Each structure stands twice: as structure tokens, then as C-alpha cells.
Amino acid sequence: MTTQYSLAHLTVLGCPPPEMTYIAARAGYDFISIRPILMGLQGEPDYALADNPTMLKQTKRALADTGVKLHDIELARVYDHMHPTKYLPAMEVAAELGGRAVLSSIWTENRDYAIEMFGQLCDLAKPFGLTVDLEYVPIAGVRSLADAVQVLKAVNRTNAGLMVDTHHFQRAGDQVEALDALPRDWFHFAHLCDAPAEIPTDRTELIRIMREGRLYLGEGGIDVASILKHMPEMVYSIELPNLSYVREIGYAEHAFRCLETTKAYVKAKVCGCQLAGSLS
């Protein structure tokens, strides 16, 4: 099976979905992962395609022109006093564009509430043929692999999944062996990047690296290969925001280098080992 790759929007956040699609095609990606849900963060662009028919039409044309496919949309956050139906327009867009998944994360400390809301998200997404994949984030309400597993077991929906980000996995202090016991059908895609080995103790610095300072695979200190070896083969979405790289070489070249370095790393450190194991 040929490994497939998606370009995550945070890697090229300054590019609207149509431009991102053409960049992904030229670089050689199979999919894109877009942000059509406005998060309201300072300085973050608004790519809410449900509210922008022109951009939606342009995105649909770009996908058709290039053959690149939409893999997932983000980010359907669960937080206090929200209602899952607010994400219905984005889900409709995802289905219209042929997407497979909705990425979600949980930003409330009320675990019972989080489980209820995440379950409702899964129920809303199911008629569209979409999975809802939970990403745990070290600064969020669900901040570790154990937290995410607890939620997914309680939710118990057939279209619920687990999305492991290699940056978050290392920052949360998770152990790769914990992945072995998890249902294989939870895994639909993963976020790949590298980062400095030392985990910042300062929250501001942790967020800075997360949002703008991640590294190409092999440049940092995360043992990405070990993480991947404990998960089934799936789509690898490269989420690698790095503002200094973008300022130096531009979004298109950065997206190309993300894919080039990731493919080389996976071939050298993951695929070769898996092949050797299968022949022994």
C-alpha cells in the first residue's frame, strides 16, 4: 500500500483553500486538510466556506483541476456553552467537497459535558459519512492519550476516531506502547512534524512552537518513527507550521520541503523496518 499524504492548513495558513490546493498538487500531496471553521484567534484568516460561496466554488474547481482530494476539515472544538449544531454548515461543505473526517479537540475541564458534546458531534457527522477524530492537545481539556481514550470509550460511536499529532504525543509524555492496545479502527489519519526535544516549561513558548516553530522530520528530537510503528498505516497529514521557514522560502517551497523530508524519513525509518519485519 502506498502511503498517502495530506497538507494540513496550519502549515500554509496564509493560503486560502483554492491556493492551498494548487500548492498541494504541485508539491505532490494526495489530500488537503482545510480550516473552514473560523476559530476566532487573533490574526487567523477566515476561510469559512459555508459563508463564502465564491471561495467554495473556487475550492471545488481547484480540487477538480488538480485531482487532489479533501481529507478532513477542522477544527470542531468542544468548549463550555457551545452547541454542536454550529458545525453543521462546515460538515455540509466537507461532504460536498468529498471529505472524510472532521477534526475535533476538547477545551473544557467538564469531562461529562465533553463526552456528551463529542457524542453529539459524531451523531451529526454520521449522515454525511464523516468520522469525527479527537485530537488531544497538551494545553487543552483533553491533553493526553489516556484522556482521549477515556472519552472515546465513553462516547462509543462507530464514526469516532483518534487523531495522534506527533508534536502533542511527545509534549504529553505519552508512551508508544500505549498505542498497541487501542482499536485499529480508531486510526484514520495522523499529524506529522518534528520539534525540539526539550519540552518547554513556559506555556507561551510551548504555544509558540506549536503554532509557528515546528520542524521537518529528522530536524528535531521527537522519535516520530517509533510513534508511527505502533499505529496502523493511514493517511499522514503534515502539520508543520514554521514562520521563519515561510518568510525565507515562501509557502509553496515550504509545503514541498515538508512532503519531501517526510517521505524520505518515513521510507528510511518506518517503511523499511516494517518490510523487514514482514519478511522475517
For the domain that residue 140 is a member of, what is the CATH number?
3.20.20.150
Which residue type is seen at 256? F
Torsion of Cα atoms, 7 then 50 then 132 then 234, to 10°? -20
Percentage of the residues of the chain whose pLDDT score is greater than 70? 96
Residue linked to cell 456528551: 116
- Of the two residues 58 and 44, the one the predictor is more confident about is 58
For the chain, the average pLDDT equals: 94
The predicted-structure confidence for 207-228, as pLDDT tens digits, reads as follows: 999 999 999 999 999 999 999 9
Cell numbers given for 277: 519485519
Question: Which are the contacts of 28, defined by CB distance < 8 A and separation ≥ 6?
Answer: 5, 256, 259
Number of domains into which the chain is organized: 1
The predicted-structure confidence for 153-166, as pLDDT tens digits, reads as follows: 999 999 999 999 99
Confidence of residue 44 (pLDDT cuts 50, 70, 90): confident
Burial 4-39 (b: 16+ CB within 10 A, else e): bbbbbbbbbbebbbbbbbebbbebebbbbbbbbbee
Classified as helix, coil or strand, 5 is strand
Its domain, for residue 61, covers: 5-279
Percentage of the residues of the chain whose pLDDT score is greater than 90? 92
Classified as helix, coil or strand, 206 is helix
pLDDT reported for residue 276: 37
The predicted-structure confidence for 254-265, as pLDDT tens digits, reads as follows: 999 999 999 999
What pTM was computed for the model?
A: 0.94
Confidence of residue 42 (pLDDT cuts 50, 70, 90): confident
Classified as helix, coil or strand, 243 is helix
Whether residue 75 is preceded by a cis peptide bond, meaning omega within 30 degrees of 0, is: yes
Classified as helix, coil or strand, 35 is coil
Confidence of residue 272 (pLDDT cuts 50, 70, 90): low
CA distance 107 to 113: 11
pLDDT reported for residue 112: 97
pLDDT reported for residue 212: 94
pLDDT reported for residue 20: 98
Q: Are 9 and 46 in contact (CB under 8 A)?
A: no
Phi-psi region of 98 (alpha: psi -120 to 50; beta: other; left: phi over 0): left
Does 279 have pLDDT greater than 80?
no
> DSSP alpha helices (H): ranges in the chain?
17-27, 53-66, 88-96, 111-125, 145-155, 166-171, 203-212, 224-229, 243-266, 272-279
The predicted-structure confidence for 100-113, as pLDDT tens digits, reads as follows: 999 999 999 999 99
DSSP secondary structure code for residue 270 in this structure: I
